[in-house]
Structure 1
Amino acid sequence: MKLLRVGPPGAERPVVQGQDGTAYELSGRARDIDGAFLAELDPQALARDVAAGLLPVADIAGQRVGAPVARPGKVVGIGLNYRDHAAEAGAPIPDEPVIFLKPSSTVVGPYDEVLVPRGGEKTDYEAELAIVIGRTARYLEDHRAAAGVIAGYTIANDVTERAFQFERGGQWDKGKSAETFTPLGPWLVTEDEVADPQRLSLRLWVNGELRQNGSTAEMIFPVLEIVRYASRFMVLEPGDVIVTGTPAGVTLGRPGTPFLAPGDIVEIEVDGLGRQRQVLGKA
């Protein structure tokens, strides 16, 4: 199933989209697509209800699409998770996943404006596959256990201000935490509809120019290992989001290419997960 949230910021309502693209209201059953909803989510049962006509059709034409997960408790970032990106960044291949945290205040919808922060000089894009957690996870033993806590997948743009990341004390969180720095969506595609999360192509364009063109097959640490590993260091809770790293092609790795500026347009597409589009503005 494809889950999404439509409406103005702070007043989105939950919707499910069927195989034929028809949208159905979930607001009679759930307050929102949040941790509480995801903890009880049964995609097969929901699909049966859609097929049986038990949900009212939703008119979502022309409405804003919000992030597909409401108020994530935390956004967990994985850095340097593609060999080609580590190479372009001049960094060694990590022996273990590199983890950082992004506040939930970074999360916006897939078509919302992204703001260059005040003092920002090197704002960069990062096309990423995002994992949405559906069950509480702590100290997972293996990949089978990790698979059991995943609700689904979506697209993320892990926007980064490189000057803050590398030139202000070397703390990645500074460069990752500005408002609007994690556009998510358009959909949360449930885990059962993604046959293999390690066989998804990712593409990103800036002002129509293809900048990133990679595959999750190139990850150093695959999805299930990321979830297992992260659970050893923190409790993962329903509604948490993990952004899994980006392939080569970021501005940082393209000498002479200007960083993002107000008016630029970033578009991201991931196989089966839809497409995002953001216009840059200024805080």
Structure 2
Amino acid sequence: MKFVLFNRPSSPATLPGLLTDKGIVDISAVVGCSESPQATMVSIIDRYDDLKSALERHVQTAPVLDPASVRLCPPLPRPGKILACIGNYWEHAQRESKPLNMFMKNPDAVVGPGDTICLPNFTAPSSFMHEAELAVVIKGPAKEVPRDRWRDAVFGYTCMIDVTARGEGRFTWPGPIMSWLGKSFDTFAPIGPCIVTADEIPDPNQLHVQFWNDGELRHNYSTDDMEHPVPEIVEFASQVMTLNSGDLLSCGTNHEGLGFLQDGETVEICIHGIGRMSLKVHDPLKRKWERGVYMGHDSTHHDAVRRHRPETVIRDSRE
């Protein structure tokens, strides 16, 4: 199933729905609405096993809404935690795995389909870039989950754009600002368009990730290239802290495809099997950087993105 949150033009209420091949089905009569849209989605995650049969019946008879007639919202408007991998892809013919590492990204930075990424109104960062990523939606509480039981802690998957301010290290304003702050400005965590339940994704390490900027293909890679696949990420994160329902684990990106974000652009992310969404970019300072894929330290060009992983790498998610 593909769960969404949406608004109708005639009402400010945010409702839960299912995205189907025919359109969107309002499921509020089945699942109810909690005190906030985030709480509504967390309640669906916690009760999904009990709700599934009723939802399947409801979809057969309920009216279907044209997606063009509603506004999709981020499916998790305010996650309790966003933990994001640093790097985590085999790149540049590298042959030794880097240690798995993660940082926390500001949950208040979340926006959704059709929203606007707003670059901050000061000049310290040297640039702003996109990182298209697979995000894992947690079903908790989950603590010290061994990798051979990783599926117990996973409700589903969504798309995330890890928007990043870059500079020397990250940047200085007025003092050193480390990685998590450079990634945590308001609007720097677009997620959506839906949450796909785990039963519809046989292997999260076999997904095709793409990202366009004004129609130009930039990111274009397979999640099969992760250095540390999803089972290992779940194990690692849950060793450090308790993961709760509605938390997000973002799996990192293939840096061979990074590019700048600047005023007036339209960006679009697609993870095949999950969904596609687009957003606008606004910069109050109207800064300009070179268009196209960044040819600097991290990146080459999307046409050159290939599977660099050693053939001996074991894919735990297939076991």
TM-score tier, shorter chain, comes to 0.7 to 0.9
Secondary structure, counterpart of 2:192 in structure 1: coil
How far is the alpha carbon of 1:60 from its aligned partner?
Answer: 4.4
Residue 255 of structure 2 is matched in structure 1 by 248
In structure 2, the partner of 1:141 is: 146
Give the 3-state SS of the residue equivalent to 1:174 in structure 2: helix
In the TM superposition, what whole-angstrom CA distance separates every residue of 1:124-168 from its partner, at most 9, and x where no partner exists?
Answer: 000100110122101112332x21111100111011111386233
1:65-88, CA deviations, whole angstroms, 9 ceiling, x for partnerless residues? 11112321011111111121897x
Is the contact between residue 66 and residue 110 of structure 1 (CA under 8 Å) also seen in structure 2?
yes
Determine if contact 2:103/2:180 at 8 Å carries over to the other structure.
Answer: yes
1:254 is aligned to: none
Name the larger-Rg structure: 2
Q: Could you tell me which of 80, 83, 89 is aligned with 1:76?
A: 83
Distance (Å, rounded) in 1 between the aligned partners of 2:243 and 2:82: 10
Q: Which amino acid aligns with 1:240?
A: D
CA distance in 1 between counterparts of 2:209 and 2:263 reads: 24
Please say if residues 4 and 17 of structure 2, whose CA atoms lie closer than 8 Å, have aligned partners that are also in contact: yes
Which of residues 117, 121, 127 in structure 2 aligns to 1:118? 121
For residues 85 and 72 of structure 1, what CA distance do their matches in structure 2 show?
34
1:214 to 217, 221, 224: 221
- Pick closer, same or farther for the CA change 1:10–1:227 going to 2, 3 Å: farther
How far apart are the structure 1 equivalents of 2:186 and 2:213?
A: 20
CA contact (8 A) 2:85 2:101 kept: yes
TM, length-normalised to structure 2: 0.77
**Letter matched to residue 57 of structure 2:** D
**In the TM superposition, what is the alpha-carbon distance from 1:267 to its structure 2 partner?**
1.2
Give the superposition deviation at 1:58. 4.2
Describe the superposition over 1:143-199 as per-residue Cα deviations: whole angstroms up to 9, x where unpaired: 32x211111001110111113862333611111100111111111111101111111
Aligned residue in 1 for 2:25: 24
Counterparts of 1:155 and 1:49, CA distance in 2: 28
Candidates 102, 106, 111, aligned match of 1:108: 111
Relative to structure 1, the CA distance from residue 218 to residue 10 in structure 2 (aligned partners, 3 Å threshold; closer, same or farther) is farther
Flag the structure with more relative contact order, 1 or 2, with Cα contacts below 8 A and sequence separation at least 6.
1
Q: Number of aligned residue pairs: give it.
A: 269
Alpha-carbon separation, structure 1, partners of 2:138 and 2:165: 26
Give unmatched runs, 5+ long, in structure 2. 285-319
CA distance, structure 2, for counterparts of residue 198 and residue 27 of structure 1: 32
Take 1:239 and 1:66, find their aligned partners in 2: how far apart are those partners? 15
- Superposition deviation, residue 46 in structure 1: 4.6
Counterpart contact for 1:34–1:72, Cα < 8 Å = no
**TM-score when normalising by structure 1:** 0.87
- One-letter code of the match for 2:279? Q
2:236 matched to which residue of 1?
A: 229
Instruction: Report the CA distance shift for 1:44/1:85 in structure 2 as closer, same or farther (over 3 A).
Output: farther
Supply the distance in 2 between the matched residues of 1:46 and 1:186 (Cα, whole angstroms): 23
